[in-house]
Amino acid sequence: MEDNVFEQMAKRYDTEARIELAKVIVKEVRAELRNSKPKSLIDYGSGTGLISLELSDLVDSILMVDSSKEMSEIAKAKISYRGMTNSKVLYSDFTQETPELKADIILMSLVLHHIPDTIKILQELYNILNNGGKLIIIDFDKNDKINHPKVHNGFSHEGLKKRLSEVGFKSNEIKTFYHGNRIFMNQDSSMFISSSIK
């Protein structure tokens, strides 16, 4: 986990632009979490907590998981500062080793494009979900202007649906919900939300 670029950028992560983009994502995810009050949620790749810190009133508990120690520490400090009693942080990378955990809902916001083996992480998250549980993915639509050795250049809806079905997820629904200027590696891009059931 040492060569994770997020270790270097953690303290500078919460820029105005990222906070604004997070607000757009939070609005979309909150709508998806209606009627989830008794449920447990894992925010996988939670970063500094920009998304799930705004969701804690909608669910029973939140576990924020991130493979960057520095990002995790910032999320932890925010939880403590806000006195949030139903949220915790775990420094972990499930592509290396997955702890014994269970959850009703798993959220991944702007994380999947950073993970080389997407099938592997989707499989691990599938195993953690309780039967009938939900995986919510927010990420960028495929963008041919982006070419980076360590980052997927977004995902096509059909390509992602195929991967989710291969892993075993049912009723995979995907829709684009936002277009923004220079939001993905400095390129104009759009974001999708996908919702799948185990």
> CB under 8 Å to 194, separation ≥6 — which residues?
135, 136, 137, 139, 157, 160, 161, 164, 172, 173, 174
Residue 45 lies near ligand SAM (rule: CB under 6 A): yes
Part of the chain binding ligand SAM (CB under 6 A), chosen from 47-55, 153-161, 163-171, 190-198: 47-55
CB of 107 to ligand SAM, least distance (A): 8
Residue 114 lies near ligand SAM (rule: CB under 6 A): yes
Pairing of strands 103-109, 87-91: unpaired
Give the closest residue to 191 by CA, choosing from 134, 114, 109, 118.
109
Part of the chain binding ligand SAM (CB under 6 A), chosen from 26-34, 97-105, 110-118, 146-154: 110-118
CB of 116 to ligand SAM, least distance (A): 9
Work out which of 115, 135, 137, 183 binds ligand SAM, going by CB under 6 A: 115
Give the closest residue to 75 by CA, choosing from 96, 109, 52.
52
Work out which of 56, 68, 87, 189 binds ligand SAM, going by CB under 6 A: 68
> CB under 8 Å to 47, separation ≥6 — which residues?
6, 13, 66, 68, 71, 75
List residues binding ligand SAM (CB under 6 A): 4, 6, 22, 45-47, 50-51, 66-68, 71, 93, 95, 109-111, 114-115
